[in-house]
Structure 1
Amino acid sequence: MKMALMVSDSHVARAGGDRLREQYGFVSVGEADVVVALGGDGFLLHCLHEAMRHADPKPMFGMNRGTVGFMMNDFREGQLADRIAAAKTFVLHPLQMTATTASGRVITSPAINEVSLLRETRQAAKIGIAIDGKTRMEELICDGVLVSTPAGSTAYNLSANGPILPLEAELLALTPISPFRPRRWRGALLPAASQIEFEVREARKRPVSAVADQMEVRDVAHVKVAMDRSIALELLFDPEYALDDRISLEQFAS
Structure 2
Amino acid sequence: MDQPEAVAMTGIRTDKLAFLASDTEEAHEALERLTEIYGSVPPKQADVIVALGGDGLMLQTLHAYMGTRKPIYGMNRGSVGFLMNEYREEGLRERLQEADVTTIHPLCMEVIDQTGYSHVARAINEVSLLRQTSQAARLRISVDGRVRLEELICDGCLVATPAGSTAYNLSAHGPILPISASLLALTPISAFRPRRWRGALLPSHAKVDIEVLDPLKRPVSASADHTEIRHVAKVSIHEERSVKGLIMFDSDHSWDERILTEMFRY
TM-score band, normalised by the shorter chain? over 0.9
> What is the SS of the residue equivalent to 1:253?
coil
1:108 aligns with 2:90: no
1:29 maps to a residue whose letter is P
Q: Partners in 2 of 1:104 and 1:71 — Cα distance?
A: 37
What whole-Å deviation, never above 9, does each CA across 1:25-68 have from its counterpart, x for those lacking one? 1111111111000000011001111113xx52410000000012
The residue aligned with 1:67 is 79
1:191 aligns with 2:199: no
The residue aligned with 2:260 is 248
The residue aligned with 2:249 is 237
The residue aligned with 2:172 is 160
1:122 aligns with 2:134: yes
Count of residues paired in the alignment: 252
> What is the SS of the residue equivalent to 1:224?
strand
1:241 maps to a residue whose letter is H
Identity of paired residues, percent? 54
Structure 2 stretches lacking a partner, 5+ long: 1-14
How far is 1:226 from its partner?
0.2
What whole-Å deviation, never above 9, does each CA across 1:200-251 have from its counterpart, x for those lacking one? 0011110000000011000000000000011111111111111111011111
The residue aligned with 2:19 is 5
1:211 aligns with 2:216: no
2:85 maps to a residue whose letter is N
TM-score using structure 1 length? 0.98
How far is 1:108 from its partner?
0.5
> What is the SS of the residue equivalent to 1:30?
helix
What whole-Å deviation, never above 9, does each CA across 1:168-198 have from its counterpart, x for those lacking one? 1110000000000001000000000000000
TM-score using structure 2 length? 0.93
RMSD: 0.8
Q: Among 39, 50, 60, which residue is 2:64 paired with?
A: 50
Q: Among 4, 17, 28, which residue is 1:14 paired with?
A: 28
Q: Partners in 1 of 2:147 and 2:69 — Cα distance?
A: 36
2:112 maps to a residue whose letter is T
Q: Partners in 1 of 2:39 and 2:189 — Cα distance?
A: 47
Q: Among 43, 58, 74, which residue is 1:29 paired with?
A: 43
Q: Partners in 2 of 1:237 and 1:164 — Cα distance?
A: 19
2:171 maps to a residue whose letter is S
Structure 1 stretches lacking a partner, 5+ long: none
